[in-house]
């Protein structure tokens, strides 16, 4: 097996980088290689570097590590580039939540769509496009795997701006499939399903066991409050829309106009934490970040025992299939080249993909049920406008994106949307591209 080089951009998010590196080192076919770690935060990069050395020693594999705050020094020759960047999130996470809240836009996570998702994209995409330009110059044959949110937007902007092979990877579909088996009380191996849509709002349009529809059983099971309370918004969506969606209830609550537009609805449908808690991400993310760094230090010091096992993230399975030619199936965020018939063909969708030596090959899904397609298409219009704003430096396109956001439109007038946009620009101007100022 030939040696591979894997660049991880944003490796300072050390816990996730640790998960990805562990997966790779636990993959039988990936015996030799190099990790090229990049982060602009030198202290967090050093922590990730130490953890990489720890993992290599633990694995006994023939891997080495390079690390630099300057990606151009380590990108050359990379076979795979994994993007996990976070741009100025710590400085702006409260602005992303608190300013919209003044206008009645109540977010739980706010990193994919809505005002928070919009401004995360406006901060992130310029840096992402600079990274891709360097990859195109230094490692043009690399497969780029994106894990950064907003997922669909990051992939879409990258595909429009470069000629690189790019796939967006999330864990929402595989995690949800296991959750559904648990809710049904069935062994995972016994359920059969088909899912497709857009990232964080894909749909399990088929859920069966031995050809029998399992949705009647699921509707019966959620009469038990112990099951229903685990995922109340997604269960409510399933009851009314006929299909289960692929993100947590907290995320799902802000992706449509139904659950967060009035205080009484928020009280009725949302729950603590990922169940839809107001400001959950803004209130906890800075603490999570510090806790994640401490977790790595605890592994390195021996205070915490490290469990070396391969997890469910798709990156290592893609590499294994491409290096060995043994096919694998993953769910990827890719350009909709006729894959989902009734969604825009110039946007990014999430579908099953075959992977082998030829790379990531998306498969045709067909049409979604019309009402589900409409919900996804509204997001894809948002994606198109934001990508256009950044790529063409079109400020008004960014404003229009916020105007078509489902949750924002449910509670704000057009004048209020514009006023909110201007207030968020003023608060974040030091971190935004010039065309927005």
Active-site annotation, residues:
171
CA torsion through residues 41, 44, 48, 54, sign: positive
CA torsion through residues 175, 179, 182, 186, sign: negative
Task: Read off φ and ψ for residue 19, nearest 5 degrees.
Answer: -60, -45
The encoded tokens of residue 340 equal: 């989902």
Distance CA 110, CA 120 (A): 9
Distance CA 51, CA 71 (A): 19
349 membership: H or E segment, kind and range: strand 348-356
Task: Read off φ and ψ for residue 43, nearest 5 degrees.
Answer: -70, -45
Query: Measuring CA to CA, which residue among 390, 338, 389, 334 is closest to residue 360?
Result: 334
Query: Measuring CA to CA, which residue among 418, 345, 329, 390 is closest to residue 124?
Result: 390
* Residue keyed to tokens 């919009």: 118
CB distance 272 to 279 below 8 Å? no
The encoded tokens of residue 247 equal: 């993100």
Q: Please, which residues have CB within 8 angstroms of residue 241's CB and are 6 or more apart in sequence?
A: 371, 372
Exposed / middle / buried, residue 223 (Cβ in 10 Å: 0-12, 13-18, 19+): exposed
The encoded tokens of residue 133 equal: 């330009």
The encoded tokens of residue 269 equal: 């449908």
Query: Measuring CA to CA, which residue among 363, 339, 360, 361 is closest to residue 349?
Result: 339
Q: Could you count the other beta carbons within 10 Å of the beta carbon of residue 278?
A: 17
CA torsion through residues 275, 277, 280, 283, sign: negative
Distance CA 128, CA 116 (A): 18
């Amino acid at each position: 097996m030939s040696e591979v080089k894997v660049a991880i951009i944003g490796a300072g998010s050390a816990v996730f980088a640790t998960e990805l590196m562990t997966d790779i080192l636990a993959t039988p076919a990936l015996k030799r290689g190099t990790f090229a770690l990049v982060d602009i935060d030198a202290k967090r990069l050093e922590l990730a570097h130490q953890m990489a050395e720890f993992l290599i020693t633990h694995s006994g594999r023939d891997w080495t590590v390079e690390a630099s705050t300057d990606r151009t020094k380590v990108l050359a020759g990379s076979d795979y580039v994994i993007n996990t960047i976070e741009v100025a999130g710590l400085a702006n996470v409260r602005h992303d939540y608190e300013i919209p809240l003044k206008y009645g836009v109540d977010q739980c996570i706010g990193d994919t769509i809505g005002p928070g998702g919009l401004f995360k994209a406006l901060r992130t995409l310029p840096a992402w496009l600079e990274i891709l330009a360097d990859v195109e110059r230094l490692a043009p044959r690399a497969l780029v795997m994106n894990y950064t949110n907003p997922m669909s937007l990051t992939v879409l902007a990258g595909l429009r701006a470069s000629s690189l092979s790019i796939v967006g990877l999330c864990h929402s579909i595989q995690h949800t499939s296991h959750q559904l088996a648990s809710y049904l009380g069935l062994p995972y191996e016994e359920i059969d399903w088909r899912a497709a849509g857009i990232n964080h709002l894909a749909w399990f349009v088929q859920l069966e066991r031995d050809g029998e529809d399992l949705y009647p059983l699921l509707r019966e099971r959620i009469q038990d409050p112990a099951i229903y309370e685990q995922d109340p918004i997604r269960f409510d969506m399933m009851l009314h829309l006929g299909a289960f969606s692929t993100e947590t209830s907290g995320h799902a609550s802000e992706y449509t106009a139904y659950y967060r537009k009035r205080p009484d609805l928020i009280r009725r449908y949302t729950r603590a934490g990922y169940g839809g808690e107001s400001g959950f991400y803004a209130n906890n993310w800075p603490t999570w970040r510090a806790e994640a760094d401490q977790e790595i230090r605890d592994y390195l010091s021996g205070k915490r025992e490290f469990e070396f096992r391969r997890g469910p993230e798709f990156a290592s399975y893609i590499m294994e299939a491409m290096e060995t030619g043994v096919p694998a199936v993953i769910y990827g965020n890719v350009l909709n080249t006729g894959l989902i018939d009734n969604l825009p063909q110039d946007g990014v969708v999430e579908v099953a993909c075959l992977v082998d030596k030829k790379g990531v090959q998306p498969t045709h899904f067909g049409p979604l049920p019309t009402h589900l397609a409409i919900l996804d298409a509204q997001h894809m219009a948002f994606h198109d406008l934001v990508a256009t704003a950044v790529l063409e430096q079109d400020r008004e396109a960014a404003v229009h994106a916020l105007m078509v956001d489902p949750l924002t439109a449910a509670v704000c007038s057009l004048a209020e949307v514009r006023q909110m946009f201007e207030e968020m620009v003023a608060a974040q101007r030091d971190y935004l591209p010039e065309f927005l100022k």
